[in-house]
C-alpha cells in the first residue's frame, strides 16, 4: 500500500466510448503524474501537475485529457481511443516536481480498447 | 540526452542464489538522481532506493545492496539469497536535476524459482 489509489483497476472500452480514470493520493504531496506502460516499452511520462497546475504535457494526443481539481485528485478523461492505447496507466505522486523526491505509484488501471 | 539501459531483459535464478541487476545511465547533468523500483504482479511500482550524483557510497538494506559507480555510469542492484517473493520486474530510473523528469529503463524481469 503506497498511499496512492487508482480506480478502476481494469477497464474495457470501445473506441467510441468516453471514460475517466481516477487517482487519489493520501500522502500530502503536491505533484501528481500520469504514466503509460505498454508491453515491451519503458514507462512513458504523459502529464505532470504541480500544485494543481499542469507543468508537463509530453506530446500526448488530445484524446487523453487530464484534470487536477486539487492536489489529492487526478483524473484522466478518455475519448475516441485507439486499440494501440491499450496499456497500464499508472498514477504517481511526489512531494514536489523539479525536486529529487521519489515518486510513489498507484496500482494502475489496465485499459483495453476494443 | 538522458537514457537508462537495463540490458538484462529476463533473469531466472533458483531460490537462495545471489543475483545482480545491471543498470547503465547516460546524462550530461552534473546533478541527477538514480532510483530503483520493483513492480510485482499486482502492478504498482514500489520505491526501493534513491541516490544522488554526489554520493557514491554503496548502500545495503537487508538482502538488497546497490553499487553506484560514476566512472562507469552504472547503478547495479544485488539481491542476496533471493526468495520467491523477489520475483517481479525491476526498473532503474534517472531523474534529471534540470527537468525533474523521471526516465525509466526497460525493466528486468526476475523470476526466482523455489
- Peptide bond between residue A8 and the one before it cis (omega within 30 degrees of 0): yes
What value does the mean pLDDT take over residues B44-52?
Answer: 91
Taking the CA of residue B58 and the nearest CA in chain A, the distance in Å comes to: 19
Question: In sequence order, what DSSP letters do the residues of B20-87 get, joined into one string?
Answer: EE--EEE---SSEEEEEEEE-TT---EEEEEEETT----EEETTEEEEEEGGGTEEEEEESS--GGG-
Q: What is the pLDDT of residues A17-39, one digit of tens each?
A: 899 999 999 999 999 999 999 98
* Cell triple for A92: 504517481
Q: How many CB pairs under 8 A join A and B?
A: 50
Average pLDDT over residues A1-13: 91
- Rounded Cα distance between A111 and A100, Å, is 30
Enter the C-alpha cell of residue A101: 523526491
Task: Determine whether the interchain pair A107/B43 forms a contact, defined as Cβ–Cβ distance below 8 Å.
Answer: yes
- Cα(B17)–Cα(A110) distance, integer angstroms: 33
In the predicted model, what is the mean pLDDT of residues B85-101?
90
Average pLDDT value for chain A: 92
- Determine the average pLDDT of the residues in B87-99: 90
Of A55-64, A72-81, B37-46, where does the model show the most confidence? A72-81
Task: Indicate which of A11, A23, A37, A59 best probes the interface with B, i.e. most B CBs within 10 Å of its own CB.
Answer: A37
Q: What is the predicted pLDDT for the residue at A40?
A: 73
pLDDT above 90 for A55: no
Q: What is the CA angle A107-B110-A2, rounded to 5? A: 25
A11-21 per-position pLDDT tens digit: 999 988 899 99
Q: Do A103 and B105 touch (CB under 8 A)?
A: no
Q: Up-side HSE of residue B103: CA atoms within 13 Å toward CB?
A: 19
Amino acid at each position: 500500500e503506497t498511499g496512492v489509489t487508482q480506480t478502476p483497476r481494469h477497464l474495457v472500452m470501445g473506441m467510441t466510448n468516453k471514460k475517466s480514470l481516477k487517482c487519489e493520493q493520501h500522502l500530502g504531496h503536491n505533484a501528481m503524474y500520469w504514466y503509460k506502460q505498454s508491453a515491451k516499452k519503458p514507462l512513458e511520462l504523459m502529464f505532470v501537475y504541480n500544485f494543481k497546475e499542469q507543468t508537463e504535457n509530453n506530446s500526448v494526443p488530445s484524446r487523453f485529457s487530464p484534470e487536477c481539481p486539487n492536489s489529492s485528485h487526478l483524473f484522466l478523461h478518455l475519448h475516441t481511443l485507439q486499440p494501440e492505447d491499450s496499456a497500464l496507466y499508472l498514477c504517481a505522486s511526489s512531494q514536489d516536481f523539479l525536486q529529487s523526491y521519489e515518486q510513489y505509484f498507484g496500482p494502475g488501471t489496465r485499459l483495453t480498447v476494443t | 540526452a538522458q537514457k537508462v539501459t537495463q540490458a538484462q531483459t529476463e533473469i531466472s535464478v533458483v531460490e537462495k542464489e545471489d543475483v545482480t541487476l545491471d543498470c547503465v545511465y547516460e546524462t550530461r547533468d552534473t546533478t541527477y538522481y538514480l532510483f530503483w523500483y520493483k513492480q510485482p504482479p499486482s502492478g504498482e511500482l514500489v520505491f526501493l532506493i534513491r541516490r544522488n550524483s554526489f554520493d557514491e557510497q554503496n548502500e545495503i538494506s537487508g538482502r538488497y545492496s546497490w553499487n553506484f559507480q560514476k566512472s562507469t555510469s552504472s547503478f547495479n542492484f544485488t539481491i542476496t539469497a533471493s526468495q520467491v517473493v523477489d520475483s517481479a520486474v525491476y526498473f532503474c530510473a534517472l531523474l534529471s536535476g534540470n527537468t525533474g523528469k523521471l526516465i525509466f529503463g526497460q525493466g528486468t524481469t526476475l523470476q526466482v524459482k523455489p
